[in-house]
Amino acid sequence: MTTTQTAGWRPSMGEAATRDKPATVSGDYALMLEECLSFELGGHGKCGVDMDEPELAPLAGLPLRQAAPDLPGLTEPETVRHYTRLSRQNYAIDLGPFPLGSCTMKHNPRLNEKVARLPGFADVHPLQPQASVPGALEVIAQLADWLVTLTGMSAVAMSPKAGAHGELCGLLCIRAAIDARGETRDVVLVPESAHGTNPATAAFAGFKVESIPATAAGRVDLDALKAKLGPNVAGVMITNPNTCGLFEPDMKAIADAVHAAGGYVYCDGANFNAVVGKVRPGDLGVDAMHINLHKTFSTPHGGGGPGAGPVVLSEALAPFAPLPFVTRDAQGRIHLVEEETAGEDHPNSFGRMVAFHGQMGMFTRALTYILSHGADGLRQVAEDAVLNANYVLRSLENVLHAPFGDSGPCMHEALFSDRGFAEGFSTLDVAKGLIDEGFHPMTVYFPLVVHGAMLVEPTETESKAGLDRFIASLRSLAERAKAGDVSLHSAPHYAPRRRLDETLAARKPVLVWKGEPAPSGQPSPSEIGDR
């Protein structure tokens, strides 16, 4: 451990003292407290509130619980402190940047949150009659109009819940269109530079997946793609800009070739933030594209939801869109078209994807974001995102290998590799080292076309000063990896937990607590060290 690394260093939970740093068996370090599980904190057989013994009357035909539920008994202060301490061990966009490539995790403007919490939006219920929610339907209709306009498409399905769900929607539209033609096409082509969910979604939809290689410049090999086109190909799933952070200059040629062969073009819209207001995918020949509202249009991202992945459709696929959808009648009145009201006007729809229509909170936030920016502001979003990514790329390419740095400017994300690191050092060491620097790690080992990939997406919301701080930290870590600084192998040193066995955690996750609390309600030192 070098002198600079010793400053402010502390052992991880339960670690013995090193140098002149005292060990602690509790796992507590100043204001960062070791936090046990709520079961361990509260224990059993006690309750955080005083209640009279309830008088239970048997309910006809319903079984009664024979024992108390196995829940921890916590007082209100214990509960509040428990979750507050846990929150301090979590990273959030309000603490710093998320440089995750392909994720577009940007600041969520508070204006969006304020509007989403207005009465009539925050308390709308999916079971309300249509007549009671005209404002909600107007929000959906306006957002749909914006998405169609920004993409140059003919229609949009608003009900898909997230990116992969949107991919499935697009492929089901493609399959319905092919069935309507009386054809059997069971192959979907997926370039190596596409998002990882694309082949999984195609397989889930019942298609066979064939891969298309990338060129040395990180783009789709057009000749290889044309060679695989035939009467069995339903279409291609392409990501543009792709996961190498590069725009596909042959996109129109790819679409023309696929259409000539009778197939359709699905575009993964996860990277739409790089081109919104600059390029309309419909003009490039795209037939279907999902749009992650939680990426481009700044609705909350992560934590498993809620998400929203509307799918814009070309004129060729619009008749096959799922139900329900919002439309305007001849008098300009908005209503929701469902199965029972579709009638003969929409006979080719492949049906319903979800029980209820859309994610109202996400729609409200996304429309607020769009209206507050306007067309010119959205164009600047893309320009600033691309500018920030190129600033990161050019600031680090002399210390980190940029595999496509000679291919010209990148788009919304900068791609690096582990080439040049000392023997035995890997991308993972740098990523864990970033945690010690106070940053969330970038996307690692993706895309697969680059060995030891490090994919950085700063988005447009990061300032130059903030980027300079991140660049300085990543530069320092790269230099340490190239110099063989062995302390990187054990990073992070300052996090609540040291480096985990990620393979074991993925294959054998411990999801259920089965232990008994320690007498004091606190875990023992041995338990702390095992975590």
Indicate whether 116 belongs to any domain. no
State whether 452 and 469 are in the same domain. Answer: yes
* Range scoring the smallest mean pLDDT among 204-208, 406-410, 482-486, 511-515: 511-515
Q: Which helix (DSSP H) or strand (DSSP E) does residue 253 occupy? A: helix 251-260
The Cα–Cα gap between 306 and 285 comes to 30
Instruction: Tell me the β-bridge partners of 268.
Output: 239
pLDDT band (50, 70, 90) for residue 527: very low
- Residue 236 is predicted with a pLDDT of 98
Q: Beta-carbon neighbour count of residue 380 at 10 Å?
A: 16
Structural domain contains residue 105: no
Q: Locate all alpha helices (DSSP H) within 7-58, ordered by sequence.
A: 38-42
Question: 394 vs 103, which has greater pLDDT?
Answer: 394
Distance, in Å, from the CA atom of 96 to the CA atom of 439, rounded to the nearest integer, reads: 7
**Domain-embedded: residue 146:** no
Please, which residues have CB within 8 angstroms of residue 521's CB and are 6 or more apart in sequence?
A: 36, 40, 41, 42, 43
Mean pLDDT of the chain: 87
**Statement to judge: residues 291 and 322 lie in one domain:** yes
Share of the chain above pLDDT 70, in %: 87
Q: Which of 114-128, 402-416, 489-503 has the largest mean confidence?
A: 402-416
Q: Would you give the distance in Å from CA 100 to the centre of its chain?
A: 9
Regarding whether 456 and 401 lie in a shared domain, the answer is: yes
Distance CA 398, CA 421 (A): 13
In this prediction, residue 92 carries a pLDDT of 87
> Which tokens belong to 145?
């109009």
Radius of gyration of the chain (CA): 26
Where in the sequence is the domain holding 529, given as residue range(s)? Answer: 1-49+70-89+498-531
d(CA 365, CA 111): 8
The percentage of the chain sitting over the pLDDT mark of 90, rounded to a whole number, equals 61
As beta bridge partners, residue 21 has 18
pLDDT at 489: 95
For residues 361 and 412, state if they share a domain.
no
Residue 194: closest CA among 150, 154, 235, 160: 235
Q: Which residue has the higher pLDDT, 230 or 77?
A: 230
Establish if 40 belongs to a structural domain: yes
Phi-psi category of 235—alpha, beta or left, where left has phi over 0 and alpha has psi -120 to 50? left
Structure tokens of 420? Answer: 């040049």
481 plus 504 within the same structural domain = no
Report the Cα 382 to chain-centroid distance in Å.
Answer: 18
The tokens 């200059």 sit on which residue? 249
CATH code, 421: 3.90.1150.10
293-330 per-position pLDDT tens digit = 999 999 887 665 567 999 999 999 999 999 888 888 88
pLDDT tens digit sequence for 175-222: 999 999 999 999 999 999 888 899 999 999 999 999 999 999 999 999
Determine, yes or no, domain membership for 118: no
Residues 315 and 453 in one domain: no
CA distance 474 to 495: 18
pLDDT, residue 316, reads: 97
What number of other Cβ atoms are within 10 A of residue 432's Cβ? 23
Show the tokens assigned to 143: 């957002």
pLDDT at residue 390, as a whole number: 98
pLDDT mean over 11-30: 51
Q: What number is the average pLDDT over the span 215-238?
A: 96
The confidence band for 523, taking pLDDT boundaries of 50, 70 and 90, is: very low
Q: Which of 20-34, 117-131, 210-224, 265-279 has the lowest mean pLDDT?
A: 20-34
Provide the domain count of the chain.
3
452 touches 468 (CB < 8 A): no
Q: Are residues 425 and 277 in the same domain?
A: no
Pair 187, 237 in one domain: yes
Burial of 31 (0-12, 13-18, 19+ CB in 10 A): exposed
Q: At what angle do helices 360-396 and 464-483 cross, to 10 degrees?
A: 50
> Does a structural domain hold residue 160?
yes
Summarize the confidence of residues 31-42 as an average pLDDT.
Answer: 81
pLDDT digits (tens, 9 = 90+) for 416-451: 999 999 999 999 999 999 999 999 999 999 998 999
Whether the bond between 324 and the residue before it is cis, its omega within 30 degrees of 0, is yes
CATH number at residue 213: 3.40.640.10
Residue in the structure block whose two tokens are 């694309």: 198
Map residue 240 onto helix, strand or coil.
coil
Same-domain status, 318 and 170: yes
pLDDT at residue 526 greater than cutoff 90: no
Are both 188 and 299 inside the same structural domain?
yes
Query: Could you count the other beta carbons within 10 Å of the beta carbon of residue 452?
Result: 18
Lowest-pLDDT range of 118-127, 218-227, 314-323, 520-529: 520-529
pLDDT bucket at 362, cuts 50 / 70 / 90? very high
Average pLDDT estimate for 2-20: 39
480: in domain: yes
Direct distance between the N- and C-terminal alpha carbons of the chain, in angstroms, rounded to an integer? 24
CB 412 within 8 A of CB 273: yes
- Residue with token string 């864990």: 432
Query: DSSP alpha helices (H): ranges in 358-444?
Result: 360-396, 427-436
Q: What angle do CA 357, 363, 365 make, to 5 degrees?
A: 155
pLDDT over 80 (residue 54): no
- Residue among 196, 206, 186 at smallest CA distance from 164: 196
Q: Which residues neighbour 58 within 8 Å (Cβ) at sequence distance 6 or greater?
A: 64
CA-CA distances (angstroms) from residue 431 to 17, 106, 403, 478?
Answer: 26, 20, 18, 10
For residues 428 and 492, what is the distance between their CA atoms, to the nearest angstrom? Answer: 11
Alpha-carbon dihedral sign for residues 128, 131, 133, 139: positive
- DSSP-assigned beta bridge partners for residue 32: 29
As given in the structure block, the two tokens for residue 408 are 């010209």
Which backbone phi and psi does 453 adopt, to 5 degrees?
-65, 145
Do 348 and 490 share a domain, yes or no? no
Q: Tell me, what's the pLDDT at 68?
A: 73
Choosing from 337, 367, 397, the residue where a domain stops is: 367
pLDDT band at 522 (very low <50, low <70, confident <90, very high): very low
In a domain, 227, yes or no: yes
- Identify the DSSP state of 283: G
pLDDT at 6 over 50: no
With a CB cutoff of 8 Å and minimum separation 6, the contacts of 50 are none
Same domain, 209 and 253: yes
